[in-house]
A and B are shown apart, each in its own frame.
Chain A
Amino acid sequence: MKRYSKMLCGKFALTAAVLIITVIGVAVDAFAQAASTSDSGIPEVKFINQQIRQQWADYQIKPSMKATDGEWVRRVYLDIIGRVPTVEELQAYTSDRDREKKVKLVQSLLHDDKYTEEYAKNWTTIWTNVLIGRSGGTERNSLTNREGLQKFLRDSFARNKYYNEMVYELVTATGSNSPGQENFNGAVNFLTMKLEENATLATAQTSRIFLGLQVQCTQCHNHPFNEWKQQKFWEMNAFFRQTRALRRFTPGTRDVSFVELINQDFAGEGLTQTPEKADIYYELRNGVTRVAYPVFVDGTKIDPSGYVEDVIRRTELGKLITESEYMDKMIVNRIWSHFMGYGFTKPIDDMGPHNPATHPELVSYLGAQFRQKNYDLKELISWIALSEAYSLSSRTNSTNETIDDPVLGETPKFSRFYLRQMRAEELYESLVTATQAANGKGSYEEQERRKGQWLSQFITAFGNDEGEEGTTFNGTIPQALMMFNGDLIKTASSKGNGSFLSNLANDAELNNTEKINHLFLAALSRKPSTNEIKVANQLLLARKGELVAALQDIWWAVLNSNEFILNH
Chain B
Amino acid sequence: MSNLARNGMSRRHFMSHMAGASSMVIPSLTMGQTLQDNAEDLKRRRKSAILLWMGGGPSTMDIWDLKPGAPTGGPFKPIATSGNAQISEHMPLMAKQMHNMAIVRSMSTREADHGRGRYYMHTGYVPNPNIEHPSYGAVLSNQLIDQRPELEIPPFVAVGGGSVGPGFLGMSWAPFTVSSTGQVRNLQMGLEDTRLYQRMYALDLIEKGFINQRRGSAATDHQKILKKTLNLMTSEQMEAFKVASEPDDVKERYGNTNFGRGCLMARRLVEIGVPFIEVGLGGWDNHSNIHTTLRDQKLPELDQAMSALVEDLEQRGLLEDTAIVWMGEFSRTPRINGNAGRDHWARSWSVVVGGAGMNGVIAVGETNSDGTRVETDPYTSQDVMASVCKALGISLQTTFTSNNGRPMKIANSGKVIKELFS
Give me the interface of A with B, judged by CB distance under 8 Å: 196-197, 216-217, 219-221, 224, 283, 345-347, 355, 394-396, 401, 405, 407-411, 418-421, 457, 460-466, 468-470, 472, 474-482, 484-486, 529, 531-532, 534-536, 538-539, 541-542, 553-554, 556-558, 560-563, 565-566, 568
Contacts and interface: CB of A to CB of B under 8 A. Distances in A.
A534 B217 CA distance: 28
Contact of A480 (B55, B177, B215, B229): B229
Residue in A409, A457, A474, A558 whose Cβ sees the most chain B Cβ within 10 Å: A409
A463 B335 CA distance: 22
B250 interface: no
B202 A553 contact: yes
B233 A484 contact: yes
A485 B188 contact: yes
Contacts of B222: 475, 562, 565-566
A480 B184 CA distance: 12
Contacts of B229: 477, 480-481, 484
B203 A477 contact: no
* Chain A interface, DSSP helix/strand/loop, else mixed: mixed
A565 B221 CA distance: 12
Interface residues of B, number: 82
27 contacts: A197-B341, A217-B113, A220-B112, A221-B112, A347-B129, A405-B217, A407-B217, A418-B216, A463-B162, A464-B56, A464-B114, A464-B284, A469-B161, A470-B161, A475-B174, A475-B221, A475-B225, A478-B176, A478-B185, A481-B186, A529-B209, A539-B202, A557-B199, A557-B202, A557-B203, A561-B210, A566-B210
Contact of B198 (A463, A466, A539): A539
B80 interface: no
A421 B202 CA distance: 21
Contacts of B154: 477
B177 A460 contact: yes
B57 to A, nearest CB: 7
B104 to A, nearest CB: 22
Contact of A478 (B113, B129, B162, B177): B177
Given A484-B186, A566-B222, A463 B171 contact: no
B130 interface: yes
Residue in A347, A476, A536 whose Cβ sees the most chain B Cβ within 10 Å: A476
Contact of A542 (B7, B186, B233): B7
Interface of B: 1, 4-5, 7, 55-57, 110, 112-116, 118, 129-131, 154, 160-163, 165, 171, 174-178, 184-190, 195, 198-203, 205-207, 209-211, 213-219, 221-223, 225-226, 228-229, 232-233, 280-285, 287-288, 333, 335, 339, 341, 343-344, 402-404
Nearest to B287: A197
A486 B219 contact: no
B229 to A, nearest CB: 4
Contact of B218 (A220, A411, A536, A566): A566
Residue in B187, B225, B229 whose Cβ sees the most chain A Cβ within 10 Å: B229
B202 A535 contact: yes
A470 B53 CA distance: 15
Contact of B214 (A395, A407, A474, A565): A395
Contacts of B113: 216-217
A461 B114 CA distance: 13
Contact of A476 (B225, B341, B402): B225
